[in-house]
Amino acid sequence: MKQRPNHQRIGQILIHLGASNEKCVSEARLVQLKNTVLRRIGEIMIEYGHITEDDLERALSIQRDLDSVVTEG
């Protein structure tokens, strides 16, 4: 899956919101890389108790808004 240049990664949005930190995002990325089945980082972070479902929904909403600005611009 190729990202657009201005696409914000969900982990960075969660950090910006104060819902998570670099250590938790890095841990989730490692878990993601070690899995043979593709899992979304948000799912992993919820599973490990790093964020709540509400945190993820808020971050995804922001990500969608940012992506729409990029595609419109």
Q: What whole-number distance in Å separates Cα of residue 70 and Cα of residue 67?
A: 5
pLDDT for 6 equals: 44
Mind listing the pLDDT tens digit of every residue in the chain (73 residues)? 444 444 569 999 999 999 999 999 999 999 999 998 989 999 999 999 999 999 999 999 999 998 887 666 5
Domain range for 35 is: 10-65
Predicted pLDDT of residue 47: 97
Q: What is the pLDDT of residue 5?
A: 42
> Quick check: is 1 in a domain?
no
pLDDT of residue 3: 47
* C-alpha to C-alpha distance for 4 and 6, rounded to whole angstroms: 6
Q: Is residue 4 part of a domain?
A: no
Look at residue 73 and tell me if it is in a domain: no
Asked if residue 2 belongs to a domain, the reply is: no
* Residue 66 confidence (pLDDT): 86
In a domain, 3, yes or no: no
| Count of structural domains, the chain | 1
